[in-house]
Amino acid sequence: MWLIKENGFDKEHIIHRGNQFIIGHMKLGVRGTLDEFRRAEKVAITLPFVYDQVGDGWREPVNAFNPLFSEVIIDGKPLNVLNGHVISHEQTLDMKNAVMSRRSVIQRGDYQVTIESSRFVSSVDERLIISKFQVSIDKDIKIVIKTGIDIDIWDINGKHIEDVKLSEKGYLKVEGVTHEKGHLITCLKEITPLFENSKVKIEKNNDGIFYGIEIDAKKNHVYKFESFAVIGVDQENDDLENKLSEVLHEGYHKRLEKHSQIWNQKWDVSNVIIKGDDAADVALRYSIYHLLLLAPQSNSQSIPARGISGQTYKGAVFWDTEIFMLPFYLNTDLVSAKRIILYRIQGLPGAKQKAKSYGFKGAFYAWESQEDGFDACTDYNVTDVFTKRLIRTYFKDKQVHISGDIVYAMKMYIDRTKDFSILKDGALEVILEVARFYLDYGHYSILKNRFEIWDVMGPDEYHERVHNNAFTNQLVKMVFESVLDYEEYFESENDSYFNDMVEKLSYHHELELINKYKDLVYIKEIEDSLVIEQFDGYFNHKDINKDELFKLKLHEHEYLGGQGLAGDTQIIKQADVISMLYLFKEKYSKEVIKNNWEYYEPRTEHGSTLSASMYALTSCMISHPDHAYPLFMKSATVDLTGKSKHFAGGIYIGGTHPAASGGAYMTAIFGFSGLSFNQGIKVNPKLPQSFENISYTVRDKGKLYKVNVDRNESKIMEEKD
């Protein structure tokens, strides 16, 4: 159950397949497009965390030159799936080894051509792409195999690489500089033909630089070559020739063996096996595959909301990473988990600058975080599909819960690992500055004797500038409590670090206010119905159902939020109160969670792929795993099916959905198997009907455990690491 296969070729599925068959890692993302595809088919060789801005366009990660381009030319005309009669076509992703392959049989006139290729992004090297390509034809005929570096790059918001130079020194070379910061991007490619009696020419043109391999092809003979390409950014370029020479010497199969060894080690501690439901088993493994692709490779990296699938969402890091993805790494990969935390610590100066820009003290973290905590989010993120004008949105300035999400993640990391040293690495300063921001942003009502948070947007982005969002207020209270918890921790350790930090930050007054307000933060009352109001006045909004709302749409991509159709209704974009109930589950009874689930789920449009997993998790908490199952599958299969929003108000937002992958993992492990760490490692299974058994490996406080859960018996055994 390690292979993802799709048979048949459909031009309508090109964009989706590019996401579905993605390979790479956090230094290099390669969309699962075919060898002959170009800019029009949205080929992308993405360099995560290498950002660039052109003019007034959105700042986004750079797409590099494409060294995978290869095509077959017969009688002077390219022959491929786009212009030939496709007899058969199969595209495969080997998840175990992170290898993508394809096989296409194409007919033209009285002959058929079979094209096969495979590729992987090396896990041994940072930016090395290794591939092989072969062609055979069922008649004697002259053919040309054209392969090289395509420089006609697909960019969403500008042409990011300029001053492009082409050269060849036994290998092909392309280099250029980025528009904004002048990063030098270089790509080298060389091939090893595994056949004789051919002529090779070098071709340079506006599309790039290519080898043209002329062959007098014999009937049914296979002509193949191996291709090696390395991409460098700035100082990495100094060693590119040595890397290329080394991999050429070793060849495709030896490098694949090393690459596979690394992936097998990852799967040893990450794989989850579901027995009884093959569809769920494969879908969850595919979700885990995406999370393994995205493991941060340095302390300066986290995980963008669209992973490594391209430039959508500006290649930025959202709250998705901390709330939906971090739990996977806490269970399987503590190095990556710590890097996620360190990324936010390094972003503190940017968060403080953002708060200052709005007139507040403390740390207001970026909604769309790029390097150094820079907020790439703009005030106009959606285009009106009717007027084509930009719509003012409030993601950047009113989703203040982002700062609390980061503190929640830091607390989760410390609770799970007992690595209190992270506090001295900068986490404590982050927590103090976030609390300072909330003290300044919030409002103490003298008449009501409570601390309120006005003018915010919760996870439900359809309702803007609301007061006392239940989710946000719980986070604010948690932040205040965390400050005092860590003060107590350092006191118990006879460590002056907390007091020293108070002196350094001139924090005495803030500490007094936190002590005063921590129990006065307004937490929404539980109504007689046990339903918690999402924000002040929510219950006064129009209570219509989703079908009624959708019937009012005049355009399929019409934006529903803000002043749109959903703004004055109770229809919400995604889990909001339900997310709060999951994150703060210890504060609420099963009955409260059940009543809120039943109230809010019918009113939730699930317009974000973050939504389904929160409803699935809480459904398990109220002992309804079969209600959770379709929501779990919705999260786990979103990048298999391609059934997600590709546009928001006319703006393309396609790509992969790693937060949904993380949510699917959370549902399986914490929901269906009921894993918890409150008092040692325990399980409380809530298996759906189709599951016979679920087994997995998990780390906790330096130890490795094998967990096996079925309907009759559960076992937790310590393993050797």
Active site residues: 461
**pLDDT of the residue at 382:** 87
What's CA 94's distance to the chain center, in Å? 20
353 has pLDDT over 80:
yes
| HEC profile of 256-303 | HHHHHHHHHHHHHHHCEEEECCHHHHHHHHHHHHHHHHCCCCCCCCCC
Confirm if 44 and 311 have CB atoms less than 8 A apart.
Answer: yes
- N residues, the chain: 721
194 pLDDT exceeds 90? no
* Secondary structure class of 323 (helix, strand, coil): helix
Please determine, for residue 645, whether its predicted confidence score (pLDDT) is greater than 70: no
pLDDT value of position 649 = 58
Q: What pLDDT, on the 0 to 100 scale, is given for residue 445?
A: 97
Could you confirm whether domain 3-268 is CATH 3.20.20.140? no
* pLDDT for res 300: 87
- Give the model's pLDDT for residue 647: 66
Indicate the SS3 state at residue 676. Answer: strand
What value, to the nearest 5°, has the Cα angle with vertex 537 and ends 648 and 397?
Answer: 45
- pLDDT tens digit sequence for 492-534: 999 999 999 999 999 999 999 999 999 999 999 998 899 999 9
Q: Which of 464, 454, 466 shows the shortest CA–CA distance to 382?
A: 464
Per-residue model confidence (pLDDT) at position 299: 87
| pLDDT tens-digit series, residues 691-711 | 999 999 999 988 999 999 998
Q: What is the mean pLDDT of the chain?
A: 96
| Cα 294 from Cα 130, distance rounded (Å) | 19
Residue 380 has pLDDT above 80, yes or no: yes
Alpha-carbon distances, residue 402 vs 130, 304, 456, 458 (angstroms): 39, 15, 11, 9
Question: Rounded to whole angstroms, how far apart are CA atoms 214 and 199?
Answer: 5
Beta bridge mates, 198: 215
CA-CA-CA-CA torsion for 467, 468, 472, 477, nearest 10 degrees? Answer: 140
Structure tokens at 25: 């890692």
Digit-coded pLDDT (tens) for 290-330: 999 999 988 889 999 999 999 999 999 999 999 999 999 99
pLDDT tens track for 453-476: 999 999 999 999 999 999 999 999
Spatial neighbors of 479 by CB under 8 A, at least 6 apart, are 403, 404, 407, 431, 434, 435, 438
pLDDT band at 642 (very low <50, low <70, confident <90, very high): confident
Strands 223-233 and 128-137, sheet pairing: antiparallel
pLDDT at 1 (0 to 100): 87
- The mean pLDDT value for 350-360 works out to 98
Domain residue ranges in the chain? 3-268, 271-719
The answer to whether 716 touches 696, Cβ cutoff 8 Å, is: no
pLDDT in tens, 214-231: 999 999 999 999 999 999
Rounded Cα–Cα distance for residues 25 and 244 (Å): 19
Assigned token pair, 159: 């042409």
pLDDT at 661 over 80: yes
At residue 71, the pLDDT reads 97
Q: Any idea what the Cα angle at residue 77 is, between residues 75 and 83, rounded to 5°?
A: 130
pLDDT digits (tens, 9 = 90+) for 256-292: 999 999 999 999 999 999 999 999 999 999 999 999 9
CATH number of 271-719: 1.50.10.10
For the stretch 664-686, pLDDT in tens is 999 999 999 999 998 889 999 99
Percent of the chain exceeding pLDDT 70 equals 99
Query: Strand 272-275 to strand 77-79: parallel, antiparallel, or no bridges (unpaired)?
Result: unpaired
Count other C-beta atoms under 10 Å from residue 183's C-beta.
18
Q: Using one digit for the tens of pLDDT, what is the confidence trace for 541-575?
A: 999 999 999 999 999 889 999 989 999 999 999 99
pLDDT at 648 over 80: no
Q: Provide mean pLDDT across the span 629-654.
A: 84
Does the pLDDT of residue 481 top 80, yes or no?
yes
Distance CA 436, CA 509 (A): 10
Rounded-to-integer distance, Cα 717 and Cα 550, Å: 50
